[in-house]
Amino acid sequence: MNLRTLILEDLAEMRLWLSEVMREACPDAEITTAPDIRTALAIAGHEVFDLALIDLGLPDGSGLEVLRALKQANPAALCVVATIMGDDASVVGALAAGADGYLLKNQPSALLVRQIRQTLDGVPPLSPAIARRIMTHFRQTGPVVADANLTPREREVLGHIGKGLRNHEVAATLGIGTNTVAAHIKSVYAKLGISSRAEAAWHATKLGL
Amino acid sequence: MNLRTLILEDLAEMRLWLSEVMREACPDAEITTAPDIRTALAIAGHEVFDLALIDLGLPDGSGLEVLRALKQANPAALCVVATIMGDDASVVGALAAGADGYLLKNQPSALLVRQIRQTLDGVPPLSPAIARRIMTHFRQTGPVVADANLTPREREVLGHIGKGLRNHEVAATLGIGTNTVAAHIKSVYAKLGISSRAEAAWHATKLGL
DNA sequence: AAGACAATTACCCGAACAGGGGATGGCATC
DNA sequence: GATGCCATCCCCTGTTCGGGTAATTGTCTT
């Protein structure tokens, strides 16, 4: 079986280079190229791909449109973003759109070849700089400390409040009385220094519940 | 220069195996091992390390304690978590604690050797399964689309609701009447298909307000 | 110009909520 | 066996919220 691959890249020179890299990573690959969103979407309309290298900054839009189209046509398609933009917005946007990898084109081709090869084995291709950035993001959003020493039951109640349940609904799911729920909420309010359930919901999501 | 490395692992057999892997990845390394938190902390008290392989589930606590101690003694130390636990809590906890990598020990040793080698070149060592999990996390938290075509005013009100303000507080900050605020909230509810302000708060944070 | 539509503002009422009090039983620690 | 913490329940009072209804303005279409 040969691998149907799509390379979306506006600059001709870069497009050739990526094709070279692709051919080296997988000689059996059947390579199709597109210089812009329009042609890429036209091709994707009547053809299915297994792997795609997608540039983001294209003259007629963002490569993410194509990525979504490819994923819709074939959810198993491996869509790898290959760009020179390493800013947070681009990375997060690409991952949110369903990208299976994020490679920076300012890397030695040998490294790109290796990462594309690994992709086929299920290893998510992430350029080192991108991996570091993602981990740093977790380091900032991760700290789930400051638990405000809530009791397990309080944490549980707060979790349901954060999901938008009413007191009587929480009571029903936990099998306790509504008054009890209200009592737990009161102590949560006291411990968190708040006085409304919207604030409670905010803290709940912040505490990862 | 030789690389001062610490291997923290409770099971003797696994400790030997990791030492083997380490020696193969970097023959010049000067390897120190510890079977539990206590001895690891004692060693870290009078010795500085450049690289550390840290297990999480230890008999006398979590390896993250040691990780933090090492990072405090030498912020440039490369602390890599090496464990068999791949659950979200462990991964996020480790990254939040400042881990520079996360490796699963149920991988072929050749892969581990390669990833440890790459670590020294600045490539964050992440096992494929872990990288996928992290990316999936982004895929869930990232989507800033699905704006539910809220009007600017509604978005503004929703933002304040999400911060936990009451209707009259929102009214005061926006310089409008409380009834107006209530009306905006109602149309927001209709558009988002919800019926309580806790759910509204949830959506507000999700929409990044 | 006339009509359609969305956004913004406003009012009323019943239901839900916040926060204060106090009470019971269980479980641990001391 | 005394103390403290937790979870569970109840009452009460004032405030807030949610839903129905409707007027005003501006924009866009017809």
Read off the CATH number of the domain in which A159 is found.
Answer: 1.10.10.10
Cβ within 7 A of any strand D atom: A 149, 151-154, 171, 174, 176-177, 179-180, 182-184, 196; B 166-168, 178, 182-183, 185-186, 189, 195-197, 200
- In the prediction, which pLDDT does A51 show? 93
Whether residues A118 and A173 share a domain: the answer is no
- In the prediction, which pLDDT does B199 show? 82
Dihedral angle, C-alpha B139, B143, A147, A176, nearest 10 °: -100
Residues 155-184 of B with CB under 8 A from A: 161-166
Residues of chain A with pLDDT under 70: 1, 140-148, 208-209
User: Which residue among B98, B132, B198 places its CB closest to the CB of A198?
Assistant: B198
A10/chain B closest Cα distance in angstroms: 26
Whether residues A115 and A58 share a domain: the answer is yes
Burial of A21 (C-beta count, 10 Å sphere; 0-12/13-18/19+): buried
HSE-CB for A64 with a 13 A CA cutoff: 15
Determine, yes or no, domain membership for B67.
yes
Chain C nucleotides close to protein (CB under 7 A) are: 6-12, 16-23
Contact assignment for B134 to A139 by CB distance below 8 Å? no
Among B86, B112, B141, the domain boundary falls at B141
Whether residues A98 and A201 share a domain: the answer is no
Contact assignment for B96 to A199 by CB distance below 8 Å? no
CA distance B147 to B18: 49
Whether residues B129 and B106 share a domain: the answer is yes
- Cα separations in angstroms, B151 against B161, B182, B194, B207: 15, 15, 17, 14
pLDDT tens digit string along A93-118?
A: 888 888 999 999 888 888 889 888 88
B185/chain A closest Cα distance in angstroms: 13
User: What's the whole-number mean pLDDT along residues B145-161?
Assistant: 76
Whether residues B45 and B117 share a domain: the answer is yes
Whether residues B39 and B86 share a domain: the answer is yes
A6, A49 contact by CB (below 8 A): yes
Whether residues B124 and B42 share a domain: the answer is yes
CA distance B155 to B178: 16
Determine, yes or no, domain membership for A112.
yes
pLDDT tens digit string along A117-140?
A: 888 878 888 888 888 888 887 776
B128/chain A closest Cα distance in angstroms: 5
Determine, yes or no, domain membership for A34.
yes
A27, A74 contact by CB (below 8 A): no
* Chain centre distance of CA B150: 33
The residues, ordered by sequence, that sit 6+ positions from A26 with a Cβ below 8 Å of its Cβ are A3, A5, A116, A117, A120
CA distance B57 to B31: 21
Determine, yes or no, domain membership for A32.
yes
- Cα separations in angstroms, B26 against B34, B46, B119: 19, 24, 11
Whether residues B56 and B94 share a domain: the answer is yes
Cβ of B144 under 8 Å from any chain A Cβ?
yes
Identity of the residue numbered B104? L
Domain encompassing residue B127: 4-141
Whether residues B136 and B157 share a domain: the answer is no
Instruction: Measure B164 CA to D9 C1' (Å).
Output: 29
